[in-house]
Structure 1
Amino acid sequence: MSALRRMFVFAFWLAVIIAYVSAILPSAEAPHIAAWDKLNHMLAFFTITFLARAAYPKLAVLPLFALLAAFGAFIELSQAVPFIHRDAEWDDWFADVFAIVVGLVLAWPIAWLAKRHREASELAPDQRAQTPEL
C-alpha cells in the first residue's frame, strides 16, 4: 500500500470517528460548520464518501454506498437513544444519502484515473518494455 493510500485510509477513519462523536455529543457542544443542520450532514458525508473512495479504490460502488448509508442510519439510531439528548430525523439520513451519491459521482473520475494508474504500474517490467509509447 502506498503512503498516499495509507494517508487516505487514516483520514477516512478519522473522519468517521469525528462524524460519529460529533453526532452523539449534545447539540450545543457538537461542532458545526454551517448554521443549517442538513448542510453539516451533507458536508460530513461528502467528505467521508470521497475519502472512502480514495482509501478503498477496489471496493465496488454499491457496497460502499450501502455501508456509508448504513453508517448514516446508525448515527440516527444512536441519536434516538434518550440519554444522548439528540433528535433522530429521517431528513438527516436523506441528507447523508444525497451527499453519498454526490460524493460517489464526483469521485468517479478520480477513481477511474487511479485504477488506470494502478493497472499500468502492475504491468511487469518486460511488458512495459514491449508496450509502445505514444
Structure 2
Amino acid sequence: MSALRRMFVFAFWLAVLIAYVSAILPGAEAPHIAAWDKLNHMLAFFTITFLARAAYPRLAVLPLFALLAAFGAFIEISQAVPFIHRDAEWDDWFADVIAIVIGLVLAWPFAVLAKRRRDATPSAPEQSADSPEL
C-alpha cells in the first residue's frame, strides 16, 4: 500500500470517528460547521464518502454506498438513545444519503484515474521478472 493510500485510509477512519463522536455529543457541545443541521450532515458524509473512495478504491460502489448509508442510519439510531440527548431524524439520514451519492459521483473520475494508474503500473513480481539477472 502506498504512503498516499495509507494517508487516505487514516483520514477516512479519523473522519468516521469525528463524525460519530460529533453526532453523539449533546447538541450544544457538538461542533457545527454550518448553521443548518442538514448541511452539517451533508458536509460530513460527502467528506467521508470521498475519503472512502480514495482509501478503498477496489471496493465496488454499491457496497460502499450501502456501508456508508448504514453508518448514517447507525448514527441516527445512536441519537435515539435517551441518554445521548439528541434527536434522531429521518431527514438527517436522507441528507447523509444525498451527500453519499454526490460524493460517489464526484469521486468517480478520480477512481477511474487511479484504476488506470494502477493498471498501468506493473506489480512488484512482474518488475522483478522483467529485470535482468545479475
Fold match (TM-score > 0.5): yes
Give the whole-Å Cα distance in 1 for the aligned partners of 2:47 and 2:77.
Answer: 21
Aligned-pair CA distance for 1:9: 0.1
Residue by residue over 1:63-109, the C-alpha shift from the partner in whole angstroms, topping out at 9 and shown as x without a partner, is 00000000000000000000000000000000000000000000000
Q: Which residue of 2 aligns with 1:117?
A: 117
Are 1:81 and 2:81 an aligned pair?
yes
2: distance between equivalents of 1:79 and 1:52? 23
Superposed displacement of residue 122, structure 1 = 2.4
**Counterpart of 2:30?**
30
User: Post-superposition shift, 1:125?
Assistant: 4.4
Cα distance in 2 for residues equivalent to 1:5 and 1:84 = 35
Aligned residues: 128
Name 1:93's counterpart in structure 2.
Answer: 93
The aligned amino acid for 2:29 is: E
SS at the partner of 1:34?
coil
Please name the residue that 2:12 is paired with. Answer: 12
Q: What is the alpha-carbon distance in structure 2 between the residues aligned to residue 36 and residue 71 of structure 1? A: 21
* TM-score, structure 1 as length reference: 0.92
Q: Any gaps of 5 or more consecutive residues in structure 1?
A: 129-134
| TM norm structure 2 | 0.92
- Structure 1 distance, partners of 2:78, 2:26, is 12
What is the one-letter code of the residue matched to 1:4?
Answer: L
Structure 1 ranges of 4+ moved more than 2 A: 122-126
Deviation at 1:113, TM superposition (A): 0.1
Identity %: 87
Q: Distance in 1 between matches of 2:34 and 2:122?
A: 43
Alignment-derived partner of residue 70 in structure 1: 70
